[in-house]
Structure 1
Amino acid sequence: MSESLAKKIVLTGGGSAGHVTPNIALIPALKKAGFDIYYIGSYSGIEKKLIEDYNIPYFGIATGKLRRYFDPKNFSDPFRVLKGFTEALTLLKKIKPDIVFSKGGFVSVPVVRAAGVLHIPYIVHESDMTPGLANKLSMTGARKICCNFPETMSLLPADKAVLTGTPIRDELGMGSREAGKKLCGFTDDKPVLMVIGGSLGAQSVNETVRFALPRLLPNFNVVHICGKEKMDNLKLSVPGYKQFEYVKNELKDIFAMADIVVSRAGANSICELLALRKPNILIPLSTKSSRGDQMLNARSFEKQGFSLVIDNDELDEDILVETIEDLYENREQFIENMHRSSLHSATDTIVDIIVEEMNK
């Protein structure tokens, strides 16, 4: 395909890994569909680091957070947003994309607003059940708004909302159970419990799991991805218990090995569990430390029969062990429910939407 005929797409989104990894999952399918791909993020946010492995032109713009509460930065950040808008305008005029796809985060707002001014069609993806502020500011001119949860559809314009699910990296489903067991040093045939608390870890979950180990290890091997600087050095040599601060390339093997999973309830994490059909217990962040989106996400998955849920404020050793035993005993029912979900082809669905809207 000659450069003049190539389709061009700009991906945007950042501020956290959750606003980037779905874009990364789309990259192979977009390339296969014949797109030249460009990325606009912040100057030095996590998105820049995550995208650099994919040989995609990356452009940074100024960004500021739009807050609903008082903060001294509320006086300076609007000027950063305005600068980011001007920079996005310049970049989009230079790139001349056929379409823009936004995964959200505040860096995406100047990009989609600039696309609107230049009459470039754009699509927005909302991961959580209730739209965040950045996406609310981006939705007005969007051609389509993709979402993960049936409940979200009623909160979006009916002519724009599409229930797609979240794109999941293909490689997550290509792991080896034997490679995972070798990585963790598990040599018996006990089922494997995987515990994952997000990139920063989850201290309350970490502590409760460790308190419960004497009751868990007779029946399970436990692999615990506990977060940066959250390792317990006193338990490094406990048989059947393997800790990691963070896992990248080996994550697919750990997923392949896991029979059941305990996790926080970030939207991308739980969509990965759904795509991989992993019976799970969700322990969402409470409203004390979040806007409450994880609690809503978790309850939706519970209602659909994909997950069991433990409220973080009620978490203790007894509840955790009893719920793990309940989940494992009934795991086949959860797997069957997840197999019935229609949200397993999010990548193909979203690429089809992109192509369709671009060609209108």
Structure 2
Amino acid sequence: MKAIITGGGTGGHIYPALAVAEELKNKDWEILYLGSDYRMESEIVPAANFNFEGLAVRPLPRKISTKIISSIFYNSKAFFRAIKLILEFKPDVIIGTGGFVAGPVVLAGALLGKKTVIHEQNAYPGITNKLLARVVDRVCLNFPEAGEYFNISQKKIRITGNPVRPRIFNVDSERAHQELNLQTELKTILITGGSLGAEVINQNVVELYQYALQNNIQIIHLSGKKNYSLLIDQLKKWGIDPEKPQLKIIDYLDEMEYALTAADIIIARAGATGLSEITSSKKASILIPFAGAAENHQLLNAQALQKNGAAVLLEESELSGRILLDKVREIIEDEEKLRSMSEAAGALSQEDSLKKLIKVIEKLTSE
């Protein structure tokens, strides 16, 4: 069997796609991944040992501007190249996990009569998936409420949850600490702004760093590649040595499972894939939704965890170094609260999500 998988732009689209790709590969499927030729997937997917073809896609501007002409030109080229690649590869199914690159690929597949599946990670669907839903065979959802935003037959919809890479589960704690050169007996805070980093979070961590150093607490900080130097300069300006053994400042970490396992509490954005990894790791979290997310979907994602006692919600408009530190202290200094939030996160984990999505794919291709 053969599958073309597409999705990209951010880790939130790439990692569910890779989870599916790895599982199908384990079942002896042949995989071809089509992604943007200049976004994250162009590095991450080949590094994961999958065949990758880059397409010269560009996002459609959300407001009317001259950029729309360039976008239409590039996406038209990508659409016809996708047709060529599909005809050559002859896939049994085409699977899209969102991001603008999925648009021309899945559309090309549908028009060629190929079986097609899309997966939506968020409580409010992205524009690419909303458009594609009309022409695909199956629409798989993480949040059931997302189905309300698709004007399609409910017969197409399947609730699968969000597929998480199997390596995220059941990582040995001692090994995770060893890989990151951390001490197992110390509390650890993980700060991550998602696969691209988050400058607004990085700008409000000085007080937290000072508190951690004074109280013998470790910090893993995934800054994002473009924000790494700015963060290092900021810490030095405040007299904090970024080389201290307690501090692990990393621009990008592919082995996210080690950071998740080593952490006692996680400060993060609220993208659906990141939240699935947090709940799968059974960790308490402070969530700072990206205020610019389409239709404020990250806020909706975070509210789902907050409602179940698994997370504390802190909106960008309320964020400051002092408030962030206070929120951390309320959790990390209260063992019972830390335990109960971790248990609540674990209760939301959907460890069978990948199996459910694979079952949808296998059933569709057997029809």
Runs of 4+ in 1 over 6 A off after TM superposition: none
Are the counterparts in 2 of residues 176 and 257 from structure 1 also a CA contact under 8 Å?
no
Are the counterparts in 2 of residues 15 and 45 from structure 1 also a CA contact under 8 Å?
yes
Displacement of 1:187: 4.1
Aligned to 2:313: 309
Displacement of 1:122: 0.5
Q: Distance in 2 between matches of 1:55 and 1:192?
A: 32
Displacement of 1:45: 3.2
The 5-angstrom pairing of residues 28-43 of structure 1 reads 28-43=22-37
Q: Distance in 2 between matches of 1:82 and 1:187?
A: 52
Are the counterparts in 2 of residues 145 and 161 from structure 1 also a CA contact under 8 Å?
yes
Aligned to 1:3: none
Q: Distance in 2 between matches of 1:243 and 1:61?
A: 33
Q: Please give the secondary structure, in 1, of the residue aligned with 2:205.
A: helix
Are the counterparts in 2 of residues 153 and 163 from structure 1 also a CA contact under 8 Å?
no
1:140 pairs with one of 127, 134, 142: 134
Q: Deviations over 1:158-214 (max 9, x none)?
A: 222222222212222353433444455544723211111223332332232222333
1:45 pairs with one of 39, 42, 58: 39
Q: Distance in 1 between matches of 2:183 and 2:123?
A: 41
Are the counterparts in 1 of residues 109 and 116 from structure 2 also a CA contact under 8 Å?
yes
Aligned to 1:331: 338
Displacement of 1:87: 1.7
Aligned to 1:253: 258
Aligned to 2:282: 277
Aligned to 1:224: 221
Alignment pair present for 1:197 and 2:193: yes
Aligned to 2:270: 265
Are the counterparts in 1 of residues 118 and 139 from structure 2 also a CA contact under 8 Å?
yes
Displacement of 1:38: 1.2
Displacement of 1:123: 0.6
Q: Distance in 2 between matches of 1:227 and 1:62?
A: 24
Q: Distance in 1 between matches of 2:149 and 2:184?
A: 49
Label 1:186 to 1:68 Cα distance change in 2 as closer, same or farther (>3 A).
Answer: closer
Identical positions, percent: 28
Q: Distance in 1 between matches of 2:301 and 2:97?
A: 17
Label 1:342 to 1:70 Cα distance change in 2 as closer, same or farther (>3 A).
Answer: same
Alignment pair present for 1:74 and 2:68: yes
Q: Distance in 2 between matches of 1:347 and 1:71?
A: 40
1:354 pairs with one of 333, 342, 361: 361
The 5-angstrom pairing of residues 129-168 of structure 1 reads 129-156=123-150, 157=152, 158-168=154-164
Worse-matched range after superposition: 32-41 or 273-282: 32-41
Q: Please give the secondary structure, in 2, of the residue aligned with 1:242.
A: strand
Counterpart of 2:219 in structure 1: which amino acid? V
Worse-matched range after superposition: 333-342 or 106-115: 333-342
Q: Deviations over 1:128-151 (max 9, x none)?
A: 221111111211122221222232
Alignment pair present for 1:242 and 2:248: yes
| Cα-Cα RMSD | 2.3
With the length of structure 1 as denominator, give the TM-score of the two structures.
0.89
Worse-matched range after superposition: 263-272 or 175-184: 175-184
Displacement of 1:340: 2.9
Q: Distance in 1 between matches of 2:359 and 2:91?
A: 17
Worse-matched range after superposition: 345-354 or 136-145: 136-145
Q: Distance in 2 between matches of 1:183 and 1:35?
A: 32
Q: Distance in 2 between matches of 1:247 and 1:319?
A: 27
Alignment pair present for 1:341 and 2:358: no
Label 1:306 to 1:160 Cα distance change in 2 as closer, same or farther (>3 A).
Answer: farther
Aligned to 1:123: 117
Q: Deviations over 1:45-92 (max 9, x none)?
A: 322221112333322333232223022121232132222222222221
Worse-matched range after superposition: 234-243 or 8-17: 234-243
Counterpart of 1:254 in structure 2: which amino acid? A
Worse-matched range after superposition: 199-208 or 108-117: 199-208
Displacement of 1:44: 3.6
Q: Distance in 1 between matches of 2:54 and 2:322?
A: 48
Counterpart of 2:350 in structure 1: which amino acid? L
Q: Distance in 2 between matches of 1:246 and 1:283?
A: 19
Label 1:88 to 1:193 Cα distance change in 2 as closer, same or farther (>3 A).
Answer: same
Are the counterparts in 1 of residues 25 and 31 from structure 2 also a CA contact under 8 Å?
yes
Q: Deviations over 1:110-138 (max 9, x none)?
A: 11111111111101111222111111121
Worse-matched range after superposition: 124-133 or 342-351: 342-351
Displacement of 1:237: 4.4
Q: Distance in 2 between matches of 1:192 and 1:149?
A: 30
